[in-house]
Amino acid sequence: MDMKITFPGGKRVDAEYNGFTHRTDQPLPAGGQSTAPSPFDLFLASLGTCAGFYVLSFCQGRGIDTAGIELAMGVEWDAQSHLIGQVNIEIVLPASFPDKYRAAVVQAAHACTVKKHLQKPPQFNLFATVR
């Protein structure tokens, strides 16, 4: 395995991966100390930042200044499943953004690999071993 998950105390769960430690905690109402984002917060952030990366790459590849560009992401919950039913990502462009690239920058954001993995999810295998 190339990711190590550890339990440093309380409701905290950390992931050591690729030279970084990604720390998580639960919010106060869930028994945590709110010392770090929750795992679900990181999941949502990965969606937004992945789309943002593709917008950034699109602009950099065309020499478009990214000042004033931001993404706003929101979710809509499915009342029956209590899971996210829809993710809405708005790419906010300044007036100076070239008109001819407005549709193309949206297409670039669609290339997000995190989104693609949700659209075609992998198989999950969970198992326990004793050492």
Q: What is the 3-state secondary structure (H, E, C) of 65-101?
A: CCCCCEEEEEEEECCCCCCEEEEEEEEECCCCCCHHH
What's the confidence (pLDDT) of residue 1?
66
Mean pLDDT calculated for residue range 76-100: 97
Asked whether residue 129 carries a pLDDT value surpassing 90, the answer given is yes
Report pLDDT digits (tens) over 103-119. 999 999 999 999 999 99
Mean pLDDT calculated for residue range 28-39: 97
CA distance 44 to 42: 5
Structural element, H or E, at residue 27? none
Mean pLDDT of the chain: 97
CA distance 109 to 92: 12
Sheet holding 12-17, edge to edge: 3-9, 12-17, 20-24
The CATH classification of domain 39-121, taken from the options 3.30.1360.70, 3.90.1300.10, 1.10.3210.10, 3.30.300.20 = 3.30.300.20
CA distance 52 to 33: 29
Taking the domains of the chain in order of start, what are their residue ranges? 1-37, 39-121
What's the confidence (pLDDT) of residue 126?
95
Work out the angle at residue 78's Cα, subtended by the Cα atoms of residues 52 and 105, and round it to the nearest 5 degrees.
20
CA distance 53 to 38: 22
Mean pLDDT calculated for residue range 5-31: 97
CA distance 75 to 92: 17
Report pLDDT digits (tens) over 53-84. 999 999 999 999 999 999 999 999 999 999 99
Mean pLDDT calculated for residue range 77-104: 97
Mean pLDDT calculated for residue range 6-16: 98
Owner of token pair 């993710």: 87
